[in-house]
Amino acid sequence: MNPANRRLFTPGDGAMPPVLSGREEQQAVLSRCLSDLVRGESPPHNVVLIGPRGNGKTVLLNWFKRECRASGAVDVAALTPQDIPDSRSLVAELSPRSALARLLPRKVGVATVGSLEWEARTDTPAHLTRRLIAKCSAKPLVVLLDEAHTLDVRVGSALLNASQQVRDEAPFLLVLAATPGLPSHLAKMDASFWNRLGAGRLGVGRLSEDAARTALQEPLKAQNVHLEEDALDQVVDESQRYPYFVQLWGEALWQQRSAAGATSLTSRHVDVARPVVSAQAAEYYQDRYRELEAAGLLAAAVAVRPVFQASADAEASDREIDAALESTGVDAAARLAAREELNRLGYIWCPPGQLPPVTWRAGIPSLMAHVQRQF
């Protein structure tokens, strides 16, 4: 293969970036949970990774999956809501016995099917809890559930309930990854799950300045490519330190160096890369715009923009958001509902772990300008 065609950066869903930077806190919490499990104890809390899409939640889940497997001491079940559309499939996914039963029909004759059906009838959530306790007593289990905000409410109730009971009896950990609407979705399943998380609520948002620099610079440096300081400043700024855009920029710059055979990347390369990145970012904005449109939120999205315009890191209080939404001419209840919906889509969000007064941030600051232009 022509080495110039090789990819270096990873713009895409859940793709492990060449350098996973700026997630030290989240990694430390997860690592401590893993240590508890390896010692044969349940961690003091489950974990939820929460943040607008494109910030690296799936990447962190994948990182943790690898850590767990590398420990050799815990088993991991990595699921998405599609794997568990109903309680039966939840039991099937997590129960070794029914996993075996699903394999059997291909190997055995019709005569045994009757007894397999009988087995299947014993796959209730109560059986799941008992089997999971037995399983975790033999070897700890970590259940990773990505996109948890789309989980069926009945399945979620069964899972959260089983998780609560199992972790009291044997080493078990549930890790959920989801967009910021998760708390209200969880409330439909188990009123207190979110409150019990304590230190297990981890925000996954845009990167710090340092982390974004590292994410861009280190992979290039490892290929003996130097990204000049002012070029780096420009890219860090234009990417908004939004992980998906950081990867888009990195890849567009890497293609530049491949084409030109350059060992040093300058502002000139940034200028050539910009239209490539802009075109892909525009596609992405347009998807988010259609989501807002489908949810009837365009007017609300445009109304809150001024509150976040001062800088990419601008913060806004509840009151400021509410005052901004007044321009849409709806009553207080509708404004509150609009704020919750904007939060659900990650257009704005409230990172966990803040000291009061808790403030709102823009999901992707540059999306706000796009929405205004398009509306």
**Among Mg ion, ligand ADP, none, what does residue 26 contact (CB within 5–8 Å per kind)?**
none
Closest CA to 63 of 156, 129, 186, 146: 146
User: Considering beta carbons, is residue 55 or 217 the nearer one to ligand ADP?
Assistant: 55
Binding status of residue 179 toward Mg ion by CB under 5 A: no
- Short-list 119, 128, 130, CA closest to 159: 128
Residues forming contacts to ligand ADP in the complex (CB under 6 A) are: 10-15, 17, 20-23, 51, 53-59, 207, 215, 243-244, 246-247
- Nearest to ligand ADP of 28, 310 (CB atom): 28
d(CA 250, CA 254): 6
Q: Which of 10, 42, 58, 157 binds Mg ion (CB under 5 A)?
A: 58
Distance CA 69, CA 67 (A): 5
Residue 251 burial (CB < 10 Å; 0-12/13-18/19+)?
Answer: buried
Q: Which is nearer to Mg ion, 14 or 306 (CB)?
A: 14
Whether residue 166 contacts residue 133, with contact meaning beta carbons closer than 8 Å, is answered with yes
Residue among 14 and 306 whose Cβ is closer to ligand ADP: 14
Min. distance of Cβ 346 from Mg ion in angstroms? 11
For residue 117, count CB atoms less than 10 angstroms from its CB and return exposed for 0-12, middle for 13-18, buried for 19 or more. Answer: exposed
247 lies in the site for Mg ion, by CB under 5 A: no
- Minimum Å gap between C-beta 60 and ligand ADP is 7
The verdict on 55 binding Mg ion (CB under 5 A) reads: no
Interacting partner of 81 out of ligand ADP, Mg ion, none (Cβ under 5 to 8 A depending on kind): none
The count of residues in the chain is 375
Nearest distance in Å: CB 73, ligand ADP: 25
- 22-33 burial, b if ≥16 CB within 10 A, otherwise e? bbeebbebbeeb
Nearest CB to ligand ADP, comparing residues 43 and 205: 205
What's the closest the beta carbon of residue 58 comes to Mg ion, in angstroms?
A: 3
Q: How many helices (H) and strands (E) are present in the chain, helices listed first?
A: 17, 10
User: Which residue number has the CB closest to ligand ADP?
Assistant: 56
Residues that bind Mg ion (CB under 5 A): 57-58
